[in-house]
């Protein structure tokens, strides 16, 4: 599935990511969490080839990510960003079906696939004819997810997908999304800075701090046995329900 | 079968001979942009037509160099020129001292000149006839007499500064005066109002008769001679010998008074040049000239103008769009491209037109090329800006989707930049409509003909005949692009813009 081997990157003199190796297991949801600037988004961007690492290798299905392979490998990965990243000049349907159409799908094939995805993500069918500017934030995000699922990729990467949504919309979407991930059995890597979200989605949580993975485990393990003082402070700062006022295990 | 072939061969031959007999030789007459030159051009046009050839008048070309260049390149066959201009300006540096030198220098270029038409349009000094009588002034040397030392002289800026103007004149005649400089057109009013006593003028100016001026005799032969001659291509003698014979009828036929009178009729009486020319030929040579009905000027000018704007704009879009895209993809190259199209924009239009004339014939082509150059900057810049302004997360969205660079450009980036690109094209089109009026300097047609003629004739209504349609066309172009926007700019973008 998805593996990083000894990947590191500097922006100027700043070591954004220390040499890091990590494997993401098939069918599991892994959450990358950490404070701003810890390198979690950079890690995700390296996996899709938006950023080229100074060293190390990314393997997707055992195939190394290179300039020559990046285009075809990207099509095996769905990528979701905040607010969906929809193109304003295309209707919802055309946004979701853009790549498929480009790859030669017929209009009919695209339409039936998109309608199925709308059902899966609980997007009202009438929203498909509308333009992004006419849709709500939650609908745009559902479309972003549909677009990522369009070619039925094995891997889904999500970069703070709920960041721009208000709490109620967010709550619904989280529920739906977890159900989708579980049903489809995708390999999911999600970046968030929200501990609650991390616990809700993550079979596994990677906590990053200043460019390296500080702790790798389940959320329970992180709370029960923080690897160091940084992890402890990070978890305490999140005001998790049930943790309120209580000390994280020393 | 055989018969059929033979029959058709005969038919083709017959048609060919008929066409050859029908075909009159085409003679292209040129004239520089002044009232006098356009009148002379019309005289030549009438004479050519009367000789059985077909004349086309490229009227009011934008200057001596343009006209002479057009003649040497063969864009025109004949145009009126002045001996002084030939020796002092066109053949400057070739040490032309005698008539033989002049003819030899022209022959090297495949050109010949006629004998003088009669008038000498040189610098002269003039003053109101009444004052001249009162002061007993006939010759320039009279001015040196002590009792005339107090005369107030007002000269045009050019005359004050030219070596063959006042500085040389003062030295040649030992004149004691301290003239002041003023605008040439104001000088006549100054004379009439009495604020100056004497000014410089051209010896065939229309105002000489109007203001009843006397020209002082250049008794020491100081001013160079500007005899009017016809300059023509040698091949004209082979192509249309009867035309040369017809044109020769003008030799010695127009004296200073006649030319001045024709200028007056056009300038002050607002009679068209072709009418004035026809009247002169009737009275002087007993020629009956049939004035053809002029085609609808407005419609012809509109067609000409649309041709200039349309072709130049279409070419500019085809070139500027890729330039803008390359500037976006390779920013270093983009700096170079932007600098280049920026420099092109600053070139004076006259300079661009003159350059174009070295390898393009007079007519629409050089103007279209110049307009093309001026259209590049707005379109390149708007393309670059439109592409740059696409939010970064959307550019990345297209990348991570797995679209190839080419597909990203066509499916995402260009549609998203369409509004900006269209507005750049609109700007270029509207500017083009205005700039295209300079095309008439090189015989390109369009609304500029009326505007330049109006300026030449100080005829405001004539200027408006060109300026108003140009303004209307600019508005129509603007409106047209506004109507085009919904077709070009995707609906979703317009919705998004409306929301923000």
User: Which residue from B minimizes the CA distance to A144?
Assistant: B397
Nearest to B400 among A74, A87, A89 (CB): A74
DSSP per residue, B437-481: GGGGGGT--STHHHHHHHHHTT-HHHHHHHHHHHHHHHHHHHHHH
Q: Which residues of A touch B496 (CB under 8 A)?
A: 88, 131-133
CB contact under 8 A, B403 and A99: yes
pTM: 0.79
Best A41, A87, A103, A146 member to test B by mutation, with max B CBs in 10 Å, is A87
Nearest to B399 among A50, A72, A147 (CB): A50
- Pairing relation of β-strands A29-33 and A204-209? parallel
- For chain B, 500 residues long, give each residue's pLDDT as a single digit of tens: 455 555 555 555 555 444 445 578 999 999 998 899 999 999 999 999 999 999 999 998 888 888 999 999 999 999 999 998 898 888 888 888 888 999 999 999 999 999 999 999 998 999 999 999 999 999 999 999 999 999 999 998 878 887 778 998 999 999 999 999 887 778 888 898 889 999 999 899 888 888 899 999 999 988 888 999 999 999 998 999 999 999 999 999 999 999 999 999 998 888 989 999 999 999 999 998 888 776 678 899 999 999 999 999 999 999 999 999 999 999 999 999 999 999 999 999 888 888 888 889 989 999 999 999 999 999 999 999 999 999 999 999 999 999 999 999 999 999 999 999 999 999 999 999 999 998 988 889 899 999 988 887 778 888 999 999 999 999 999 999 999 999 999 999 999 888 76
Q: Decide if A74 contacts A103 (C-beta within 8 A).
A: no
Best B413, B492, B494, B500 member to test A by mutation, with max A CBs in 10 Å, is B492
Strand-pairing partners, residue A22, are A4
Q: Which residues of A touch B493 (CB under 8 A)?
A: 88-89
In the structure encoding, which two tokens stand for residue B289, read together?
Answer: 């000239």
Nearest to B492 among A74, A81, A89 (CB): A89
Alpha-carbon radius of gyration of chain A: 19
Residue A100 pLDDT greater than 80, yes or no: yes
CB contact under 8 A, A147 and B401: yes
pLDDT on residue B79: 97
CB contact under 8 A, B492 and A90: yes
State how far the Cα of B71 lies from the Cα of B236, in Å rounded to an integer.
12
Mean pLDDT, to the nearest integer, of A89-103? 97
In the structure encoding, which two tokens stand for residue B396, read together?
Answer: 């990345």
Q: How many residue pairs from chains A and B have C-beta atoms closer than 8 A?
A: 69
Mean pLDDT, to the nearest integer, of A118-141? 95
B409 vs chain A: nearest CA distance in angstroms? 13
Three-class DSSP category at A81: strand
pLDDT on residue B94: 85
State how far the Cα of B118 lies from the Cα of B227, in Å rounded to an integer.
7
pLDDT band at A250 (very low <50, low <70, confident <90, very high): low
In the structure encoding, which two tokens stand for residue B119, read together?
Answer: 């008038």
DSSP-derived letter for residue B141 is G
Q: Which residues of B touch A134 (CB under 8 A)?
A: 495
CB contact under 8 A, B397 and A131: no
Nearest to B402 among A74, A85, A134 (CB): A74
CB contact under 8 A, B492 and A79: no
State how far the Cα of A212 lies from the Cα of A201, in Å rounded to an integer.
22
CB contact under 8 A, B490 and A90: yes
Q: Which residues of A touch B402 (CB under 8 A)?
A: 71-72, 74-75, 99
CB contact under 8 A, B491 and A85: no
State how far the Cα of A78 lies from the Cα of B407, in Å rounded to an integer.
18
CB contact under 8 A, B401 and A88: no
Nearest to A102 among B394, B400, B411 (CB): B411
Mean pLDDT, to the nearest integer, of A165-189? 90
Q: Which residues of B touch A (CB under 8 A)?
A: 393-394, 396-404, 407, 411-412, 415-416, 418, 490-493, 495-496, 498-499
CB contact under 8 A, B397 and A81: yes
State how far the Cα of B378 lies from the Cα of B335, in Å rounded to an integer.
15
pLDDT on residue B68: 93
Give the full edge-to-edge strand order of the sheet including A2-11.
Answer: A14-24, A2-11, A55-60, A63-64
Q: Which residues of B touch A133 (CB under 8 A)?
A: 492, 495-496, 498-499
Nearest to B393 among A85, A99, A132 (CB): A85
pLDDT on residue A241: 62
Q: Which residues of A touch B404 (CB under 8 A)?
A: 71
CB contact under 8 A, B496 and A132: yes
Q: Which residues of B touch A81 (CB under 8 A)?
A: 393, 396-397
pLDDT band at A248 (very low <50, low <70, confident <90, very high): low
Instruction: Provide φ and ψ at B360, rounded to 5°.
Output: -125, 145
Query: How many other C-beta atoms can be found within 10 angstroms of the C-beta atom of residue B395?
Result: 16
Q: Which residues of A touch B (CB under 8 A)?
A: 48, 50, 71-72, 74-75, 77, 79, 81-82, 85-91, 98-99, 102, 131-134, 147
Which contiguous run of DSSP H or E holds residue A206?
strand A204-209
Three-class DSSP category at A188: strand
Task: Using alpha carbons, select from B298, B261, B278, B212 the residue that is nearest to residue B45.
Answer: B278
Residue A244 pLDDT greater than 80, yes or no: no
CB contact under 8 A, A99 and B496: no
User: Which residue from A minimizes the CA distance to B499?
Assistant: A133
Summarize pLDDT for A11-32 with one digit per residue, the tens: 988 889 999 999 998 889 999 9
Q: Decide if A150 contacts A99 (C-beta within 8 A).
A: yes
Summarize pLDDT for A62-85 with one digit per residue, the tens: 999 999 999 999 999 999 998 889
CB contact under 8 A, A88 and B493: yes
Three-class DSSP category at B386: helix
B386 vs chain A: nearest CA distance in angstroms? 14
pLDDT band at A132 (very low <50, low <70, confident <90, very high): very high
Nearest to A89 among B397, B404, B493 (CB): B493
CB contact under 8 A, A71 and B404: yes
């Amino acid at each position: 599935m998805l593996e990083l081997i000894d990947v590191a990157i500097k922006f100027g003199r700043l070591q954004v990511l220390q040499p890091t190796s990590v494997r993401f297991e098939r069918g599991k949801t892994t959450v990358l969490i950490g404070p701003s600037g810890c390198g979690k988004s950079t890690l995700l961007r390296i996996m899709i080839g938006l950023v080229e690492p100074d060293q190390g290798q990314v393997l997707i299905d055992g195939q190394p990510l290179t300039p020559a392979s990046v285009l075809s490998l990207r099509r095996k990965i769905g990528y979701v960003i905040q607010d969906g990243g929809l193109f304003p000049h295309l209707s919802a349907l055309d946004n979701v079906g853009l790549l498929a159409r480009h790859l030669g799908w017929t209009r009919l094939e695209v339409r039936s696939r998109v309608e199925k995805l709308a059902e899966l993500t609980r997007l009202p069918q009438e929203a498909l004819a509308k333009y992004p500017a006419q849709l709500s934030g939650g609908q745009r995000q559902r479309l972003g997810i549909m677009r990522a699922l369009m070619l039925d990729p094995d891997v889904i990467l999500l970069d703070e997908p709920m960041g721009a949504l208000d709490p109620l919309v967010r709550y619904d979407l989280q529920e739906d999304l977890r159900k989708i991930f579980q049903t489809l059995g995708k390999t999911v890597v999600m970046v968030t800075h929200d501990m609650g979200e991390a616990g809700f989605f993550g079979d596994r949580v990677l906590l990053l701090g200043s460019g390296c993975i500080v702790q790798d485990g389940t959320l329970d393990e992180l709370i029960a046995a923080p690897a160091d003082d940084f992890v402890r402070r990070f978890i305490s700062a999140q005001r998790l329900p049930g943790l309120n006022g209580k000390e994280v295990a020393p | 079968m055989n018969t059929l072939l033979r029959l058709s061969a005969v038919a083709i031959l017959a048609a060919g001979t008929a066409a050859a007999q029908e075909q009159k030789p085409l003679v292209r007459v040129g004239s520089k942009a002044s009232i006098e030159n356009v009148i002379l051009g019309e005289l030549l046009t009438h004479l050519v037509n009367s000789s059985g050839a077909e004349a086309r008048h490229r009227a009011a070309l934008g200057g001596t160099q343009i006209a002479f260049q057009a003649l040497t390149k063969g864009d025109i066959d004949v145009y009126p020129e002045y001996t002084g201009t030939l020796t002092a300006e066109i053949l400057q540096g070739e040490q032309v001292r005698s008539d033989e030198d002049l003819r030899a220098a022209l022959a090297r270029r495949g050109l010949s000149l006629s004998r003088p038409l009669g008038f000498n349009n040189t610098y002269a000094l003039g003053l109101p006839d009444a004052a001249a009588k009162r002061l007993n002034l006939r010759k320039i040397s009279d001015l040196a007499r002590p009792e005339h030392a107090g005369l107030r002289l007002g000269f045009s800026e050019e005359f004050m500064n030219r070596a063959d103007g006042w500085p040389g004149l003062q030295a040649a005649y030992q004149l004691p005066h301290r003239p002041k400089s003023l605008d040439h057109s104001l000088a006549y009013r100054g004379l009439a109002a009495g604020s100056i006593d004497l000014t410089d003028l051209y010896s065939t100016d229309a105002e000489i008769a109007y203001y009843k001026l006397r020209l002082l005799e250049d008794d020491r032969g100081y001013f160079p001679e500007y005899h009017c001659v016809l300059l023509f291509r040698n091949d004209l003698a082979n192509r249309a010998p009867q035309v040369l014979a017809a044109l020769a009828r003008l030799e010695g036929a127009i004296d200073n008074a006649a030319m001045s009178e024709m200028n007056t009729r056009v300038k002050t009486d607002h009679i068209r040049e072709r009418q004035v020319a026809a009247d002169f030929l009737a009275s002087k040579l007993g020629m009956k000239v049939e004035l053809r009905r002029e085609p609808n000027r407005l419609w012809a000018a509109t067609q000409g103008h649309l041709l200039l704007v349309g072709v130049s704009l279409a070419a500019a879009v085809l070139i500027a769009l890729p330039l803008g895209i390359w500037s976006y993809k390779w920013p270093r190259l983009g700096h170079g491209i932007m600098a280049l199209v920026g420099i092109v924009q600053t070139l004076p239009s006259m300079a661009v037109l003159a350059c174009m004339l070295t390898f393009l014939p007079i007519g629409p082509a050089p103007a279209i090329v110049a307009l093309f150059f001026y259209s590049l900057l707005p379109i390149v810049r708007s393309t670059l800006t439109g592409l740059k302004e696409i939010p970064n997360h959307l550019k990345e969205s297209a990348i991570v989707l797995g679209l190839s660079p080419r597909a990203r450009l066509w499916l995402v980036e260009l549609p998203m930049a369409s509004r900006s690109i269209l507005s750049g094209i609109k700007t270029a089109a509207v500017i083009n409509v205005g700039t295209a009026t300079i095309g008439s300097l090189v015989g390109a047609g369009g609304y500029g003909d009326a505007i330049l003629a109006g300026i030449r004739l100080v005829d405001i209504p004539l200027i408006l005949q060109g300026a108003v349609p140009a303004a209307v066309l600019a508005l129509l172009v603007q409106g047209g692009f506004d109507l085009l926007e919904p077709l070009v700019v995707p609906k979703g973008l317009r919705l998004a813009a409306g929301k923000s």
